[in-house]
Amino acid sequence: MFNNKAENVKQQYSDDKNLSVRIKFHKKHSINKQGFNNWLWEKYVFFDNCRILELGCGNGAQWENKIDNLPDGCNIILSDFSNGMVNIVKEKYEKYKPFSFRQIDIQNIDFPSETFDIVIANHMLYHIPDLTKALSEVKRVLKTNGKFYSTTNGNKGIIPFLHEVFKRFEPDKKAFTQQLSFELQNGYKILSEHFSDVKRFDYEDSLSVTETQDLMDYIKSSMGVLTENHSKQNLDDLFIHFENIRVSEGAINIPKEVGLFISTK
């Protein structure tokens, strides 16, 4: 799917427009109303005066409405490969004492060894060209017994679902065929090569889409990372296909597979 992974990531995440569409889509149509971020916060173990580095922070959505829950003295660096995203989170959070902001490439983290108690990388490791180097850097900057929290998708969620649907309209194309380099199925093995203890936690959820246009907006928000060109006619046909399902079944039901790895140095 990707000709140049780094360049596609730059284009897709130059700002938070596409990301915001996808976040709102999942929030609106997910069955599990606890919400993925609320579930994540049950797993995080923060403590007084801990030093936290978030890599690939995007628009910083996971910190919204959570700042009052932070223990005293936490120091949190929100970082992203995209300077556009860094500017967005800085505008959102610079008035809050715990936060500072940096543009960082996970493959070359510009901090001394043993700097952080916690490193977070949510839904971003599958974008990294050299994952081995990236995880070596994460381990290096973590203190002994520090925790690395990383979320990702599985291979039985919305992306495979969309691929099967697209094949009906464009059988020669390879839309949504991305094999994630880091997913729930291989994440334990990959992380275990770098960390002494790795645990996997799955978040049970699925999608019940009651507005077809929302699904089309989600698809279009992801198209920027695809190399294929898709005709307007095929996208119109796709809308009709999904709308027929919505009318006949009351909703478009789509699987989700998502979870968290907690790794200890």
- What is the tens place of the pLDDT at every residue in 29-75? 999 999 999 999 999 999 999 999 999 999 999 999 999 999 999 99
CB 131 within 8 A of CB 248: no
Backbone φ and ψ for 136, nearest 5 degrees, come out as -65, -40
Considering only 13-27, 55-69, 74-88, 107-121, which range has the smallest mean pLDDT?
13-27
More confident residue, 78 or 174: 78
Beta strands in the chain (DSSP E): 51-54, 75-80, 99-103, 116-122, 142-153, 197-203, 206-209, 252-255, 258-264
Q: Which fold has domain 5-155+177-205+256-264?
A: Rossmann fold (3.40.50)
Q: How far apart are CA 200 and CA 184, in angstroms?
A: 8
Q: What is the pLDDT of residue 175?
A: 63
Digit-coded pLDDT (tens) for 128-158: 999 999 999 999 999 999 999 999 999 999 8
**Average pLDDT of the residues in 202-223:** 92
Q: How far apart are CA 52 and CA 37, in angstroms?
A: 17
Digit-coded pLDDT (tens) for 152-186: 999 999 888 988 888 887 776 666 766 788 999 99
Backbone φ and ψ for 200, nearest 5 degrees, come out as -110, 140
**Average pLDDT of the residues in 253-260:** 96
Q: What is the pLDDT of residue 235?
A: 81
